[in-house]
Amino acid sequence: MKVLKVKVPATTANLGAGFDTLGLALTLYNEFIVEEHDGVVIETEPKNEFLEIPENNLFIQVIKYACERRGKTFHGAKLKQINRVPVARGLGSSATAIVGAIVVSSAVSKTELTDDIFFDIAYRFEPHPDNLIPAWKGGFITALKDREKTYYNSIDFPEDIKAVVVIPEFELSTEKARSVLPERIPLRDGIFNVQRVSLFLSALQNRRYDLLRVAMEDRFHQPYRKKLIPNFDRVVQNGYDAGALGVSLSGAGSAILALADRNFEEIGKAMTEGFSEAGIRSEYKILDIDR
Ligand code: HSE
């Protein structure tokens, strides 16, 4: 019996000013091991009873939809799901399940996975290409979702920069983190962000790491979302004091991302201390870019 195994990376979106635009894949993976089976059997590691119920399991829901979309009946699967990407922390855990299921369903049906098929299925379950595309393709991408089409492109990411991701104990849903955003942004804030995201991309290209701090400032989402993250400013400041090149909320949060080329442990520790001061437990992970 055929066993398929797929490993999908965590992702961090936005990177400051690139709200709903930039996404980066990280070397932290969820794994999905799938076997043909009559009926659905799910085993999770670490054990998560909620996800072992097929109706709650996003991977199974996406596989089912992907089969139906191809005009086939879904008869079941035996799934072993190894979860390493923390849920609802702005690290693209849902995107891992969606991408994994789409890739597996294409392999099973032996059909080419085109962009059109990918986005048609993926957007039924989550609307964020800045997580979905790096989870699918790896690396660093810029994405643009138009009404009819999604455009994206890969960008080189410097080899010597790592991501220090500080993950607080509390979850924050993307829905909640988007509900605090304003409907309208003043033109001056639009200019502020366009200038910074352009500076960010050029600073990475030319290795002008001294520019990353100002380039990761943002007025589109973090000023609003930080109210949902206790001690956000302190955690960010601690990251910079310990030598981070740039610090931002990871995706919609609650995790905070620091980009750094040295002092990785010191940055992780200083930022977790920032959370501790607010009585929040957190852990940090030092990750490379999944390429
Ligand atoms: N760019 C999206 C947001 C990512 O920040 O809301 C959601 O994971």
Hey, which residues does 24 pair with through a beta bridge?
A: 12, 140
Give the model confidence (pLDDT) of 80-100 as tens digits. 999 999 999 999 999 999 999
Position 148 confidence tier, pLDDT thresholds 50, 70, 90: confident
The preferred substitution site among 12, 19, 145, 181 for testing ligand 1, maximizing ligand atoms within 8 Å of CB, is 19
Q: Does the pLDDT of residue 72 top 90, yes or no?
A: no
Q: Where are the alpha helices (DSSP H) in 169-231?
A: 174-179, 187-205, 212-215, 222-225
CB atoms within 10 A of CB 11: 31
Among all chains, which residue has been given the structure tokens 């070397």? 27
Q: Tell me the average pLDDT of the chain.
A: 96
Position 111 confidence tier, pLDDT thresholds 50, 70, 90: confident
Position 1 confidence tier, pLDDT thresholds 50, 70, 90: low
Q: For the whole prediction, is pTM greater than 0.80? A: yes
Q: Does residue 90 contact residue 250 with C-beta atoms inside 8 Å?
A: yes
Q: Does residue 174 contact residue 20 with C-beta atoms inside 8 Å?
A: no
Within 84-182, strands assigned E span: 140-145, 150-155, 162-168
Q: Does the pLDDT of residue 108 top 90, yes or no?
A: no
28: nearest Cα among 88, 93, 100 = 93
Position 132 confidence tier, pLDDT thresholds 50, 70, 90: very high
Query: In the structure encoding, which two tokens stand for residue 281, read together?
Result: 């437990």
Within the chain, strands assigned E span: 3-13, 22-36, 39-45, 76-82, 140-145, 150-155, 162-168, 246-249, 256-260, 282-287
Distance CA 54, CA 72 (A): 18
Atom of ligand 1 nearest to the CA of 19: 1
Report the pLDDT averaged over residues 42-66. 95
| CA–centroid distance, residue 71 to ligand 1 (Å) | 32
The preferred substitution site among 20, 173, 179 for testing ligand 1, maximizing ligand atoms within 8 Å of CB, is 20
High-pLDDT (> 70) share of the chain, %: 100
Give the model confidence (pLDDT) of 223-247 as tens digits. 999 999 999 999 999 999 999 999 9
